[in-house]
Structure 1
Amino acid sequence: MISALRTLCLLPLLFGTVASTTPEAVKPKITTVYVVRHAEKATEQNPQDPPLTEAGQARARALAEVLRKAPIVAVYSTNTRRTKDTATPLAEAKKRTIEPYEANAPGLAALAARIRQTPQGKAVLVVGHSNTILETVEALGAPRPVPTIGDDEFSYLFEVKLPASGGPATATARNYGGGK
């Protein structure tokens, strides 16, 4: 009997404690989706597909800096020069290829489905336009964090959280890169 009792007392020393929970184990895993509008564009150079202005290039670099520690595994952009140029600094820093998507209703639904396949605990960037980024947030299942985006507003960075449980998505808005 004493031998069996001694063995039971030694088991935790040999195998560790039983089922300890750490904050990481308790914390639910989520996928984070960063949604931004392209940076400032130079419409006088090419009204159909304008490049970024110097301020826009600086904003694109600021975006890469703001998200440099984020576990970005995918970068999505519409097929315009201004959106791709906004995504490029971060894509290059994270060694990711920019993946195109269509910013219409079926395209946003397809994008949302692709994003939901992202591993939990990872993040993606989506670059769109003033008239599509709030729709992108909604396609991901979150309510709009702001009612509208003005044509002169470039600094919004939306953070959409997609819980692993399939529960409701949430979205918050902040600004980056200074200015509007």
Structure 2
Amino acid sequence: MKKYLLIIALFVLQTIFSQNNTSTYYFIRHGEKIDNSKNPDLSKSGHERAIMWNDLFADIQFDAIYSTDYKRTIQTVSPTALSKNISITKYNPKATETFKKDNLGKKVLIVGHSNTIPSFVNQIIGQKKYSDIEDDVFGNLYIVTLLDDNVSSQLLKLK
């Protein structure tokens, strides 16, 4: 009888832990760009920042990587996507409910812009906590964790 109770208990625990509804989102802005044209490439500093992000995220097992459809965002996330063998998915920063549903229980990297990233984070957490990123700031990392109805967010300011 003890053996059967142990097997049932292990099955219940395995079921509970395999249904992980924790979603973790890592939001970053694109790296430095070469100019202020509509769709510029990254500058040398921007490419160096892209490598820095790749190094920073080396130990994180992402399930998905999202980018807006601009050269600077795609170039920023490309080293990480290549090193993790994950394709880059284009996204609409205004479609937060669909995004949350599609990424339930996943670890996701999202790359956007000085105005779209804070706005997207605010929509995900359901409060206006973060303002637009200053034009000369490229090292903000927003980490949002969702577990059922519990939401936490933090902002790390890297150089």
TM-score by length of 1: 0.74
Percent identity, aligned pairs only? 29
User: How far apart are residue 134 of structure 1 and its match?
Assistant: 0.8
Alignment map for 1:164-175 (pairs within 5 Å): 165=148, 167-175=149-157
Amino acid at match of 2:121: V
> In 2 relative to 1, CA 61–142 (structure 1 residues): closer, same or farther, beyond 3 Å?
farther
Q: Which runs of 5+ in 1 are unaligned?
A: 1-10
* Residue aligning to 2:139: 155
Q: Which runs of 5+ in 2 are unaligned?
A: none
Matched, 1:32 2:11: no
How many residues end up aligned between the 2 structures? 155
The CA deviation string for residues 59-107 of structure 1, in whole angstroms up to 9 with x for no partner, is: 111111211222211111111100000110111111111111234xxxx
TM-score by length of 2: 0.82
Runs of 4+ in 1 over 3 A off after TM superposition: 11-22, 142-148
Task: Point out the structure with max Rg over C-alpha.
Answer: 1
Distance, in Å, in 1 between the alignment partners of 2:68 and 2:142 is: 17
Distance, in Å, in 2 between the alignment partners of 1:172 and 1:74 is: 20
User: How far apart are residue 13 of structure 1 and its match?
Assistant: 5.9
Alignment map for 1:1-180 (pairs within 5 Å): 11-12=1-2, 16=6, 19=9, 25=17, 29-43=21-35, 47-103=37-93, 108-109=94-95, 111-120=96-105, 122-163=106-147, 165=148, 167-176=149-158, 179=159
Q: Secondary structure at the residue paired with 2:23?
A: strand
**Aligned alpha-carbon RMSD (Å):** 2.6
